[in-house]
Structure 1
Amino acid sequence: MLEAFPPEPHRVTMDDGHLRPGATFDQTPAQLRELWASMTLVREFDRKLVTLLRQGRTTFYAQASGMEATQIGVARGLRPGHDWVWGYYRDQGVALGLGMPLTEVVAQMVGSNNDPNKGRQMPHHAGSVATRFVSGSSSIASQVPPAVGMAMAQSYLGLDEVTVCTFGDGATSEGDWHAGVNMAAVKNAPCLFVCENNQWAISTPVERQTRSESIHVKARAYGIPGYFVDGNDVLAVQQAVKELADGMRQGSGPALLECLTYRVGSHSNADADAEKTYRSRDQVREWSGRDPITRFERFLASQGQEIGSRERADFVAQVHRQMEAAVQEAEASGVPGWQSMLDDVYGDTPVHLRQQYQSLRQEYGGQKETR
């Protein structure tokens, strides 16, 4: 059982990868290896997207390197295709962990014709109905109130579902965050608030974001429990999310879970030189040395499941081939034209938009009609 408001983050493995004394886990060897593969996929996805960005083949990207254990742990603690996730703009790892196809994520990143959003969303805000991962927003904490609304609806309808709402540490300074958490508490909504505390809100460190000694203690103000886990320990995150989500299905109400991790890369491509401006190189090096994938590989080795250099290289090469195929497929489909701007937007397009659309069609010779 998780302890509410603990002084130290809950861990299953130690920094050196060994099992914490007294800790247990129930994953099979195959499931453990799958966790490793998923985290490695997210790491290599990051590298490929940075390359695409530098090549001008996409226009915006926010790295998640260093946060793979938190994101995969969150995804693997839920019931895929059953629970809903309102993620924030850095949650590509959660999307992939929930089972969103790589080709679909890439298509949305480049805004191609096979992008379900038809290129109308920010290039980094992928979403999927099938995996119940809601498309994100760049407006900090704007996902919190609608996530709470969904959780309230789940409770009202008596559904065996929960809503997970993720955000960074900086979001806890926003009014939307406070209003949403308070409403969830008042309505006892099955909403799990997950703070991916990577310790930097762009260039603002967490100690300048709040006077609280941690993020999870903020739950006290709303009368809900707060929990604290090591966000670089994928097993700890997965266990915590599963335990809290299962409790919510039984009516335990909302909770706040803080996952302490670190953003090793830049905030986004608008912040390409982070370690030379507002962060010390020593800090980045220190947290890079706590790499969650390396830590998990050490754990696997301690369990007699060592990932050999050849196996690692083969898997990374496989991911790169899949990524390249997904990029080629997306680019070969072309980019959406203006003719699709109203597709899937209205059941009955307003008259003034129909008129404007018709004017465009006449001016540019498009043939496509809209409803």
Structure 2
Amino acid sequence: MDAVRISAQLKDFPWGGLSFLQSLVQRPDRLGVPIGELWMGVHPNAPSTVLETGEELASFLAGNPRFLGNLQEFPFLFKVMAIERPLSIQCHPDSAQARSGWEKEAEKRTVLDRSVWNYQDANPKAEMLVALTKTTAMCGFLSKEQMQHNLREVLPESYERLLSSCENEEDPVRSFVQTLYRLDKQELQVVVTEYAQALAKQKVISYPPFVTPLEIARQALDLYGADPGVFAPYLLQVINLMPGEGIFLKPGIVHAYVKGNGIELMNNSDNILRAGLTDKHVDYEELFSIMNTSYVKVHQIPTLQQKGKYSYETDDPFFELARFEKGRYEEENGTVSVLLCIEGNTKVTNGEQSRSFKKGECLLLGASLDTYHLEVDGCVYRASYPTKR
């Protein structure tokens, strides 16, 4: 049976959780260390290895092309996120933008460290997030009217002095955002001071563990001070997800995950254009060049339920996600996929062959595997390449 165990790579981030991922992969030695992500895939920034052979996954696939079927390369990056405090304000490119950006930075890559590259690869990046616990995210700009209302409320003096003229621009949302981000340091400090004073007068109404715009803004001010990213909770839609609910973000959607734990699935890309709330490299102008300022209300991903199987329905051509609760399932395959056990134990059977794995472990299934029987005692997520799009 073409099924092999692969490793998942832990990634430390200052915004990461202190126990969630450590408990998932049974690493008590890492408790108390902020770990934000668990990666499964071939991306060079944290490649998986095949546990049976010790090879990096990309090398294994090159030597065993039947696992990929008709594909030339592994198509997605599969993650688990543990978010204790807000990530950076960020945006990802589409195919044309990624290729152009990668080519544009060819010389930069020869002389500068990877940490200051805007483009880590030439791939587009759409992504989906499915909550494992109650989760808050900021994603997609508010409408012109909502943004205008918010800014008048939290920046009454600065709005009249600096922002009111944006209302008459062809793209008012873009103008609001770019004006705030292009303030010089002295002016930014003045505006942030007014913002902090306005927020201090507001009463916090909490709904823990969800986080409100006011709470996000106050935390951002405490962590980053005079950073234009602190305005984000009043520029972006704030979304709360219950466990099992998800959102799908196409390239160009500005976002920042705020708090919670979830499954993240995306193109095989680590292209991140950042614009605040981070100590990492930022490039406001490059982010402005790829961001989508249109108002599109962010909705939960529709799910197709068949007994204990939940399929998350998006139109992305590179990846799809399904969740399996306790039960037995007969699955058609014919595509490369990764199974991650979140709870309990799981067994995959094909004919007389079977593979078992437990919480925190993952299994790569080859495209050469046409069908298999899945026995789940807990919960499993499956990331795969779509076969019917």
TM-score by shorter chain over 0.5: no
What TM-score, normalized by structure 2, do the two folds share? Answer: 0.23
TM-score by length of 1: 0.24
Q: Which has the higher strand share?
A: 2
Q: Which has the higher helix share?
A: 1
